[in-house]
Structure 1
């Protein structure tokens, strides 16, 4: 089926109001060893789908006035998140050799703001088994990598008007923000839109014991840039109700006679087992489950919860396919629990020091192992708390960036209570078998509605 066309209506650039910035707003912001390795990663793309106001409320709804309110509140919010209006810059010198990448707040056209329309309904997005490709067009800055922030905005907001809905999608440079920081910003913008007191700010701290200015061992970006296109995958959402999540967590802990296994670890272990099964790997081959993990509370001293950046690393559980299949859910979940528990300040420091001795910019072609599943984002993010004057969103969705076979994106369930939605990306030949996998079907049971 042909994907509907998203029509660009207008675009502009948004800056904070003149005279509202503090004196230190023009100071460069340097990246940490957590962030610089990901210069080749695509921008992060997340957004919310809202229903247009229904009668009688919609009698006075004007998309023109609504867009004006969004732009005005975005400008006010950027007063407190001023680095987002900047661009990346590279400072080079030959004697002594130096190659430093940083955020230059003064080199700025602002945050891009796009308005577009599309002839589809909310039901066209939510009722299909797979995520329609048109959703990827609800986001700006597709097929760009973080290093492109030298010439492209660090943040672009696209507001797409559907026949009966509005989608607000953000594409943000992944060096400057992980999921925690992105939703922190979106919540601040939503609060400002609703004229609530602004209590969220851009907060940056130096890592104690590390030089804040990192000199990369390059003379030109061609020495580390890689642009990589993933094979086309199918994406669909699986809903894990509160009851399903509770049942999986209890089952995993009971099998291991422990209480340490979390809900997220239990759900991740289930999908690890099911996807490994449908891939039909040889029994002696290794299978890997990768969890992206925030280091805010793992470094010493800890970073604040509202630290704005991308202090993320990954941990992994590994097993042979034969062992993973021979043991139960709890055994797989315990592998993940142990990997998370072992990722303490000592482990974080060891990785940082190793990277600083030999700085490497990761290539996308090597980030996703063909025998791996990878979990990103979090069901703990308060996505549905961002309402922008339209009430609770009907759904959260992501763009096409960083999508690969085995990529799992975690969301809170719209109904709350610890429920989760997981966007599963798989090659088509695996997705069909996953949908018919007995373990997954039995786990979801009557609750997958």
Structure 2
């Protein structure tokens, strides 16, 4: 399946259909560290549309133009003023739109059996490879590539990471699909307020010519999707919360009530129901499904790396701060509103103790990340403005990005929901994990796992995690 089978046949600029009423948006304490990160690359594999190629492109260009009127920042450019503050100029400069063809690629070939690596052509479905977000001073802040396949289409969006986080990215993508489907009024308008705790007078001093990437990007890597059904995740959660209890202790009727976004799943812990009438009595008491899954991944990757027992390992997780602040930020606040939570443990402790120990470490760290913690993080950054250190610097780090809570499959452009969600090659290194909802929903999760080849081979033989993979 050669990647050369993807050929770009045209490129144009798309502009908002209405002039922006937003003039400038200052980058925040949460935006600025991302200037050294590469653009986000995410997209959806869709079934074959009942449209000619010309009609498909016309629809997607027109819909993009209308959507940009609701997201004028994405059609702008970065600008650093004389004081050193970086802004998004919402100047309607437009975004790049690429049309590509890959008639010899089928959706079946792009969705191989679960024991195979992610097919390389996905890397050709996006633009701006290896482009740091600082380049938004001269490059568009977004590029869309529509790739026509033999029996489907891939819509890939590449967006500047100093301008959006995952929440903002998927709100744009959902709106784009909504507009293409013909809605008259969008359902989730972005909030461009900048009067938040993240707005700061601090200046990030950058080297002449801009920052460099904090990871090499040259090392050999393997990428796989590990799929976890809802039932498998419930068993992991049971192990994490009560290792002496049967991992199947959650009743089937309880399982049937869960949705993809309900990470506080209803289980019996020490004889007590932790959720009643849909409301958690104590939301901090139970280790969540995602924390349980993350802890198992941490253990298994650490084992696969064959680290010395005394080696310190780090599991880094990005958290959405919108709902953690008091008062809360608007859920659709546009920009980055994330902070990174590192959890550390020695390889020896991680592997000699059971899953509940490592899951509890992650759980306590997440629960403790409240309003006061967010504000301390802002103050700490202001005292020492710096770029985000993305990478695996000591061979013992894991970085979890994205979220299974993001509505990635709510992207029906008018001819059916996505067959899969995939990413490009941006921001990938040994130990980078991205969490997606599973295609069937209902609490299932896909982990996009990027590891050194020898580590991936060891992970594939690790029965402690692979018994849960389907």
TM-score over 0.5 (shorter chain): yes
Confirm or deny: 8 A CA contact 2:16 2:69 kept in the other structure.
yes
CA distance in 2, matches of 1:376, 1:364: 11
- Please state whether the residue corresponding to 1:375 is helix, strand or coil: strand
Q: 1:289 to 1:209 in 2, by over 3 A?
A: closer
Q: 1:263 to 1:371 in 2, by over 3 A?
A: same
CA distance in 1, matches of 2:369, 2:197: 19
Structure 1 residue 214, shift from structure 2 partner: 4.0
Q: 1:48 to 1:63 in 2, by over 3 A?
A: same
CA distance in 1, matches of 2:231, 2:62: 42
- Find the counterpart in structure 1 of residue 314 from structure 2: 288
| Post-superposition CA distance 1:382-425 (Å, at most 9, x none) | 11111111201111000000011111110001111100011110
Confirm or deny: 8 A CA contact 1:30 1:213 kept in the other structure.
no
- Find the counterpart in structure 1 of residue 56 from structure 2: 66
- Please state whether the residue corresponding to 2:204 is helix, strand or coil: coil
Q: Does 1:5 align with 2:1?
A: no
Structure 1 residue 290, shift from structure 2 partner: 1.1
- Find the counterpart in structure 1 of residue 126 from structure 2: 139
Structure 1 length as normaliser, TM-score?
0.91
- Find the counterpart in structure 2 of residue 51 from structure 1: 47
CA distance in 2, matches of 1:337, 1:437: 24
- Please state whether the residue corresponding to 1:336 is helix, strand or coil: helix
CA distance in 1, matches of 2:210, 2:69: 36
Structure 1 residue 141, shift from structure 2 partner: 0.8
Choose from 227, 238, 251 the match for 2:239.
Answer: 251
Choose from 427, 431, 446 the match for 2:456.
Answer: 431
Answer 1 or 2: which has greater helix percent.
1
CA distance in 2, matches of 1:348, 1:340: 11
Choose from 74, 77, 95 the match for 2:67.
Answer: 77
Structure 1 residue 426, shift from structure 2 partner: 0.4
Residue segments in structure 1 that go unaligned for 5+ positions in a row: 93-97
| Post-superposition CA distance 1:281-313 (Å, at most 9, x none) | 001111111111111111222111111111111
Q: How many residues align?
A: 427
Q: Does 1:371 align with 2:359?
A: no
Q: 1:263 to 1:368 in 2, by over 3 A?
A: farther
Residue segments in structure 2 that go unaligned for 5+ positions in a row: 245-268, 271-284
- Find the counterpart in structure 2 of residue 392 from structure 1: 417
CA distance in 2, matches of 1:402, 1:417: 28
Give the aligned CA root-mean-square deviation in angstroms.
1.9
Confirm or deny: 8 A CA contact 1:50 1:395 kept in the other structure.
yes
Runs of 4 or more, structure 1, over 6 Å off, are: none
Confirm or deny: 8 A CA contact 2:29 2:198 kept in the other structure.
no
Q: 1:372 to 1:227 in 2, by over 3 A?
A: closer
Q: Does 1:103 align with 2:88?
A: yes
CA distance in 1, matches of 2:173, 2:198: 30
CA distance in 2, matches of 1:441, 1:386: 30
| Post-superposition CA distance 1:157-178 (Å, at most 9, x none) | 1001111110000000011111
CA distance in 1, matches of 2:212, 2:466: 42
- Find the counterpart in structure 1 of residue 78 from structure 2: 88
- Report which stretch shifted further, 122-131 or 388-397: 122-131
Q: 1:404 to 1:90 in 2, by over 3 A?
A: same
- Find the counterpart in structure 1 of residue 33 from structure 2: 37
Structure 1 residue 369, shift from structure 2 partner: 4.4
Structure 1 residue 430, shift from structure 2 partner: 0.7
Structure 1 residue 149, shift from structure 2 partner: 0.4
Q: 1:350 to 1:168 in 2, by over 3 A?
A: same
CA distance in 2, matches of 1:208, 1:309: 11
| Post-superposition CA distance 1:354-391 (Å, at most 9, x none) | 111221123545x6542011111111111111111120
Structure 1 residue 208, shift from structure 2 partner: 3.9
- Please state whether the residue corresponding to 2:340 is helix, strand or coil: strand
- Please state whether the residue corresponding to 2:177 is helix, strand or coil: helix
- Please state whether the residue corresponding to 1:217 is helix, strand or coil: coil
